Structure 1
């Protein structure tokens, strides 16, 4: 790769990184190309030399964000020093995660936007949902005939609890939502 190609790739990566943070923080609909480019430290005019459309940027940003989420969850689980299932619940259902959507789970930050979004974003989310379900199923007992269904339930409950904890304006209620979800998911997916 020549210097100009290397620089173009670096700029491309900066655009995607900027989009990931902005999308997680404020949603897919409220962020325009000009704002993403500004956040990346680049001019609006250069956008189309990197992406054919805003939807192409959204798709690439989602794929990048989900990959980062998986690595981040693995690290957080390892830090707890607990077995996989309680580690996952403890790593996901935290006040820090609740309070920082820009660096948290992409699914929780964007699921409503993706549901209303284009086919490409929904396809990426569908594939990621399958990966999440497989990841959750991997921490459940191997002999369970309902492991996949339990994993879908657990992931849905994790995201739902996080969203509700973010939405309420009472800090004590928000903490109670997280604690209740941790406790009940621990029992429900034994």
Structure 2
């Protein structure tokens, strides 16, 4: 059976989505191409019709997931006419913590692994983090452009760090304390 262009595009998007979920859940090295293709409901051989290497898939899946993070903040900023920055941060942290790693923040799930990747992976993600920082800066209290940018950098770093620590903890009460402390200080 011949695969139409529309089906091929949908298959590729499905591979990227499943890879993004599996990478966030198990890490880049914790999941192989065969597992990703199985999760996407496709044959292992179909991978090479879409990607030259696993690294190419890592780039696309991570970038796609990070774009989802940026879109979340853009949407929250749009809704934010009713919310103070602290409330937006608290909402993000509580929603992101409640989500499984596979669905949550890319940097909280894979940040330490991304740091060990080559430039092919790190450069596009760096650009997306910069974009996210700009979105967050627009949500910060009035001040100079530099002040708002520094506040957004500190807020994002604090949120990612809070998620990493809260998810690593085996104590749910302590995890919630971490989330609340960061939300209260941003």
TM-score using structure 2 length? 0.89
Of structures 1 and 2, the one with the larger relative CO (CA 8 A, separation 6+) is 2
Give the equivalent residue in structure 2 for 1:130.
130
Structure 1 residues 125 and 84, CA, compared in 2 at 3 Å: closer, same or farther?
farther
Partners of 2:169 and 2:175 within 8 A in 1: yes
TM-score, normalising length: structure 1 = 0.87
2:147 aligns with 146
Alignment of 1:1-190 (within 5 A): 4-75=4-75, 82-94=82-94, 96-99=95-98, 100-144=100-144, 145-185=146-186
- Secondary structure, counterpart of 2:132 in structure 1: helix
Q: Which runs of 5+ in 1 are unaligned?
A: 186-190
* Alpha-carbon distance in 1 for matches of 2:175, 2:24: 20
Give the direction of change, closer, same or farther, for the CA distance of 1:103–1:76 in structure 2 (3 Å limit). Answer: farther
Aligned length: 183
Offset at residue 116 of structure 1 (A): 0.9
Distance in 2 between the 1:24 and 1:76 partners? 22
Instruction: State how far apart, in whole Å, the 1-side matches of 2:13 and 2:108 are.
Output: 23
Evaluate the alpha carbon distance shift between residue 45 and residue 147 of structure 1 in structure 2; reply closer, same or farther with a 3 A threshold.
same
Q: Superposition RMSD on alpha carbons, in Å?
A: 2.1
Cα shift readout 1:74-94 (whole Å, capped 9, x = no counterpart): 445667874251342122211
Q: Deviations over 1:97-144 (max 9, x none)?
A: 214221111111111110111211111221011112111111113433
Contact 1:29–1:113 (8 Å) recurs in 2:
no
